[in-house]
Amino acid sequence: MSKKITQMGGSAALAPKAKRNRAVPAASTAVAAVRAKAPAGLEKAAPLSPKKGRLLVKKEIKRVLKVAAPKTKPAAKKTLKQASDKPQRVPVNLTELRQRIDQIDVQIQSLICERARYARRVGQVKGPLKAAIDYYRPERESQVLRMVVERNRGPLSNQELVRVFREIMSACLAQQNKLKIAFLGPEGTFSQAAVQKHFGHSVQALPMAALDDVFQAVLEKDADFGVVPIENSTEGSVHSAQDLLVGSSLKICGEIELRIEQHLMSSSDSLLKIERVYSHQQSLGQCKMWLKKNLPRAELIAVNSNAEAARRARGTPESAAIAPEAAASIYGLQILRRNVEDRPDNRTRFIVLGRQLFEPSGHDKTSLLLAGKDEPGLLYQLLDPLARAGVSMTRIESRPMRTGRWEYAFFIDVHGHIKDEPLRIALGQMGHLVGQLKILGSYPRAWSDV
């Protein structure tokens, strides 16, 4: 037997049977190669088991890698580990799939709780602050959500992932204190939907009877922030909100774009019974072609909010309301027709009102109010510094001033934060042209796709 081992270089000792030769051919060959370079006398050593043979091969690979290419050692270690690990079997039936999902849920829950603990520590590092608003940083939230989108490779959409992370951040912030958010109520309005989209559900939502009540609640610190509609893609600007903004010291510190789906709802079960339709003036305008075609004889009555319209329609079967789907559930109405808006891309832009400006997020917008002397070329002179500074303008609108007859001001939205150098330069150059310059706010841009 020893003679046979000497002739074969020791490889026969690893495979006395043909069956074992088939099981570990790679290990046997590698061990033979290693022993060929070994010191004299190694060929007389005791026979190696397959397990010891594999260990010997790994040691030799590590030695060679260490000498020849130290920088590749981590990758080689990873490859070796993958080669030695047993591949995990993919679940093939429903029970196994559910068990795997349960395991993943445990990991997700553990990580969410860990994130909450770190969020609490952030609050402790900031020190003893007075209220939830002192911990809230919209620019930081915007950065986190943009990273979520950049990492996303599916199968969930950006919209779904942003919604999940928004709720996680909302719940983590609520560990300190819940933010108080004023909005145009009552419950069931699009304004409430905008609040939930921007702040999540872990806030204290405060419904207000009118737009000026929202402004007042924030000014008097009864609310941390307020949410009001400012512009619709079909009907244009909400002028009452613009006028309130001009005369207020509040700042815009956020914006929300909301897809608006208008539904006709009633306690009646038939469109033929409807004699009057309640809704907000903007919503009636967004659905005027549909109403003209389908309810040409119905009386159209404008009210303060869509939720108020649903409340009024609840009492009489000959009445209907145009409102969001949530209002039908809250006020016990059935939806007679869905999506009665004239344009399928109907969107409303809401602004978030606060008492201060926040730091740049890197993807910001600034809203300005400009008023100048009535002279030829005034608008050109106001816009030229923006163009030369490379500042992109996204919106411009004129509104009558309350200071005199036929005096107008310009509402302008531009990309960038008031602390960005190009915008600061442009505003400095137009200083001598304007009779009034008011920075309405600098804030993270809305997510138009989510």
> Residue 398: what are its φ and ψ, rounded to 5°?
-100, 145
pLDDT at 361 over 90: yes
Per-residue confidence (pLDDT) for residue 3, from 0 to 100: 41
Question: How far apart, in whole angstroms, are the C-alpha atoms of residue 318 and residue 311?
Answer: 14
Domain ranges of the chain: 2-84, 102-173, 180-259, 263-345, 360-444
Domain covering 180-259 assigned CATH 3.10.20.310 in the classification: no
Task: Report domain 360-444's class.
Answer: alpha beta
pLDDT in tens, 213-255: 999 999 999 999 999 999 998 888 998 999 999 889 999 999 9
- Give the residue carrying structure tokens 């007859």: 405
Cα–Cα distance for residue pair 170/156, rounded to 1 Å: 21
Collect contacts of 268-272 with beta carbons under 8 A, ≥24 apart: 268/317, 268/318, 268/320, 268/336, 269/334, 269/336, 270/336, 271/295, 271/336, 271/337
- Give the class (CATH, top level) of 102-173: mainly alpha
pLDDT above 90: percentage of residues in the chain:
54
- Tens digits of residue pLDDT in 160-188: 999 999 999 999 988 878 999 999 888 88
3-state helix, strand, coil in the chain (%, to 5): 45, 20, 30
| pTM exceeds 0.85 | no
- Identical topology for domains 263-345 and 360-444: no
- Quickly tell me which residue has 């109520």 as its tokens: 185
- Specify the DSSP element, H or E, that contains 328: helix 325-331
- Where does the pLDDT of residue 92 fall: very low under 50, low under 70, confident under 90, or very high at 90 and above? confident
H or E element in which residue 368 lies? strand 364-372
- Quote the CATH superfamily of domain 263-345: Periplasmic binding protein-like II (3.40.190.10)
User: pLDDT band at 62, cuts 50/70/90?
Assistant: low
Q: How far does Cα 414 stand from its chain's mean position?
A: 22
Average pLDDT over residues 92-114: 92
What are the helix (H) ranges across 134-230? 138-151, 158-173, 190-199, 211-219
How is residue 296 annotated by DSSP? T
* Strand 251-259 to 347-354 pairing: antiparallel
Alpha helices per DSSP H over 18-93: 18-23, 25-36, 50-68, 73-84
